[in-house]
Amino acid sequence: LFANVEQAPRDPILGLNEQFNADARTTKVNLGVGVYFNDEGRIPLLKAVRNAEVARLEAASARGYLPIDGITGYNQAVQKLLFTESSPLIAEKRLVTAQALGGTGALKIGADYLKRLLPNAKVAISDPSWENHRALFENAGFEVVNYSYYNAATHGIDPEGMLASLNSYPAGTIVVLHACCHNPTGVDLSAEQWAKVVDVIKARGLVPFLDIAYQGFGDGIDADAFAVRQFAASGLSFLVSSSFSKSFSLYGERVGALTIVTANSDETGKVLSQLKRVIRTNYSNPPTHGGTVVATILNTPTLRLEWEDELAEMRDRIRAMRTALVEKLKARGVQRDFSFVLAQRGMFSYSGLTSAQVDALREKHGVYAIGTGRICVAALNNQNIDAVVDAIADVLKD
Ligand code: PLP
Ligand code: TYF
């Protein structure tokens, strides 16, 4: 049966993690995978999460099946986080939200549903994008193309290129957009650039699919939802995948959600019925734990405040590490100007290091980064940053 099976390629990011774990050097540093570590180099268990878990344990609740679309209080909390409590989309019943297995699960049920709705559409993702975007949409049966996004020469956006790409697509093309904290570059659109993107998408009849996996890691919960709210204000129908893996530090619990914005409440009922069919035939219904914890935190004022403080602490620590990296590289005598790192948002930085330099970082210094030059700034801390700075300075001098 399996005699002719070929070895599948490793996920480029998760594969690097395996290599890191097998590295015996005690001085090794993992700037590869996109995970937030605290200043002690550990994945934090947030106090708000701990408190919600204690409450859940004490409630000794039974573990029946959830509804196909998940916990109602969770889905409503997701909608408020994305659009604010007073959003007309909520009042007009124009939102379908389904709890999903992380952001990846949300993208997957969204992709499967869109394949039924628009079987001949193409999907456009940013160049570059999160490694899994292409594979996920191809796996759902779509042809995937890239729209221009990043300009390596300026370490910024290529706004004209992006608009030209969008303008070249036929109506019905699905456009995947990183709502904030772009993975892998860290480079986000400005408010003016978003306004132009929304206009072109509307004018050409494209289908926006916003991916928000880092809400609260850039400038704050509301500031990071700016793009989502711009699309809401445009009157368009669109999709949003939310991930809480990073913002609640609940990676392994698989907490996310898919939200679909419809034109009216009649569409909402029908779209929900179709989405439930997709979910039922994939995994039937979502797991209870992560969704319950997140819903409890978002819907309990004291826990909510505690979480917002902890989220701000993570955001501030990443930004402090950006500043420290830039300043220490300068102090170390590195000639290259790294100040662009300060303008980037979220966990990642496209550092501008070449694939050969990334290889040298890993082989000579045990500092792991992605071959594209992406580093996870959220993995830097006061203990490892000097070693990382020395390693970067060393690979830059050859
Ligand atoms: N979308 C983007 C842009 C991401 O960076 C990630 C990272 O994990 C995801 C989606 C997937 O999130 P999750 O781990 O919740 O599946
Ligand atoms: O980009 C990252 O590093 C995170 C984690 O298949 C991740 O988004 C990486 C690869 C993958 C799933 C999650």
Q: Nearest to residue 295, comparing CAs of 140, 127, 80, 106?
A: 80
Ligand nearest to the CA of 369: 2
3-class DSSP assignment, residue 291 = helix
- Domain stop point among 265, 299, 333: 299
The residue among 121, 214, 116, 105 whose CA lies nearest residue 175 is 121
Q: Examine the fold and report which residue of 250, 267, 299 is the final residue of a domain before the chain moves on.
A: 299
Can you state the percent helix, strand and coil of the chain, rounding each to 5? Answer: 50, 15, 35
Span 6-11, average pLDDT: 89
* 351 and 282 both lie in a single domain: no
Residue 110 and residue 37 share a domain: no
Residue with tokens 């035939």: 281
Say what the pLDDT of residue 9 is.
86
Is the pLDDT at 345 greater than 80? The verdict is yes
Place of tokens 């993975």: 183
Tell me which ligand sits closest to the C-alpha of residue 131.
2
- Residue 268 domain flag: yes
**ipTM above threshold 0.85:** yes
Rounded CA gap, 174 and 125, in Å? 9
Whether residue 304 lies inside any domain: the answer is no
pLDDT of 101-132, one tens digit each?
A: 999 999 999 999 999 999 999 999 999 999 89
Residues 132-188 pLDDT 10s: 999 999 999 999 999 999 999 999 999 999 999 999 999 999 999 999 999 999 999
Mean pLDDT of 67-73: 98
Following DSSP, what letter does each residue of 274-289 receive, concatenated? HHHHHHHHHTSS--SH
| β 122-127/143-148 pair status | parallel
CATH number at residue 115: 3.40.640.10
Do residues 119 and 188 both lie within one domain? yes
Q: For residues 111 and 237, state if they share a domain.
A: yes
pLDDT tens for residues 298-333?
A: 999 999 999 999 999 999 999 999 999 999 999 999
Q: Are residues 165 and 28 in the same domain?
A: no
* pLDDT in the model for residue 193: 98
Active site residue 307: no
Q: Say whether both 294 and 352 belong to one domain.
A: no
Same domain, 72 and 168: yes
- Of all ligands present, the nearest one to the C-alpha of 33 is 2
Question: Which one of 13, 375, 376 would you pick to mutate in the ligand 2 pocket, going by the greatest count of ligand atoms within 8 A of its CB?
Answer: 13
Ligand 2 midpoint to CA 66 (Å): 27
Q: Tell me: do 226 and 326 sit in the same domain.
A: no
Distance, CA 109 to ligand 1 centroid (Å)?
A: 14
Q: What is the pLDDT of residues 248-264, one digit of tens each?
A: 999 999 999 999 999 99
Look up the domain containing 154 and give its range. Answer: 66-299
CA of 340 to the centre of ligand 2 (A): 23
Q: What pTM was computed for the model?
A: 0.97
Q: Are residues 268 and 333 in the same domain?
A: no
Cα(183) to centroid of ligand 2, in Å? 9
Split into its structural domains, the chain has a count of: 2
Looking at the structure, tell me whether residues 191 and 86 fall in a common domain.
Answer: yes
**d(C-alpha 182, C-alpha 7), whole Å:** 31
The CATH number for 377's domain is 3.90.1150.10
Q: Is residue 5 part of a domain?
A: no
Tell me if 80 is assigned to some domain. Answer: yes
Task: Please name the residue whose Cα sits nearest to atom 12 of ligand 1.
Answer: 103
Q: Could you report the per-residue pLDDT of 30-66, keeping only the tens digit for each?
A: 999 999 999 999 999 999 999 999 999 999 999 999 9
**Residue 49 domain flag:** no
Give the amino acid at 314.
M
Same domain, yes or no: 119 and 79: yes
| The predicted structure's pLDDT at residue 104 | 98
